[in-house]
Structure 1
Amino acid sequence: MSHERLVRDWLEGWNGRDLDRVLAHYAEDAVFQSPTVLLGDPDGDGTLRGRGAIRELCERALARFPKLRFELEEVIERPSGVMVLHRKHNVFAARPGLTVETFETAGGLVTRNVVYWSAEEVAARFRSI
């Protein structure tokens, strides 16, 4: 599967609220880094390890944001994976902020996923605490 197809299928999984589809793209021992993780564990390093831990976070996200929707902006190929620019709708910010995610892959699966929020999204999330 091409990186672009992986990204599109991943986003379609999110938009369809199909976590099995989303998580099918992650290696069993995948690493996930995000400010979302840091909000839940301020003393941690913002990192989850393993598909099971990633699933738990995704389940909480869908429960908290039942209208969450992703809009793809761009897919940028990288030597070890892909960079994705997308907008998240119906979360903290009044306007959908641009989010950047990197996916490192091996054997067609995501081994590392790092999320970077836009300044708008960071401000909106920390205002809501």
Structure 2
Amino acid sequence: MRTRPVLVFDGDCGFCTTSVALVQRLVRPRCEVVPWQHADLASLGVTAERARYEALWVTPTGRVYGGAQAVAKILLSARGAWPVLGALLTLPPVRWAAHGVYRLVAENRGRLPGGTPACAVPATRAVRWTR
């Protein structure tokens, strides 16, 4: 059984990798950080399809949060003032706005600084996650 949460991100995406490195340096979340390409996704209870679509926060008990809610969990796990911002991201209507901003960024990450063609989110997805 895991004792720490796990942050799963797209290690092939330059924008994602740069963002995670910045978060590790500035926010210092208390978690393990692993690119989905090197993670044991089955043991984390997530699929490659979902991991390609959004950043994921997996709790030690196996609960999975994706997208903006994963960002909220990252902030909540940190020290200092970060948890206040993380808590704010969990409250409606901020949560709804954060979800929209996250989707906008995720769907355009290949066009953002550091982005490459490998950053593109698959055009077809069977399921959209909003937790």
TM-score, normalised with respect to structure 2: 0.26
TM-score, normalised with respect to structure 1: 0.26
The structure where helix makes up a greater share of residues is 2
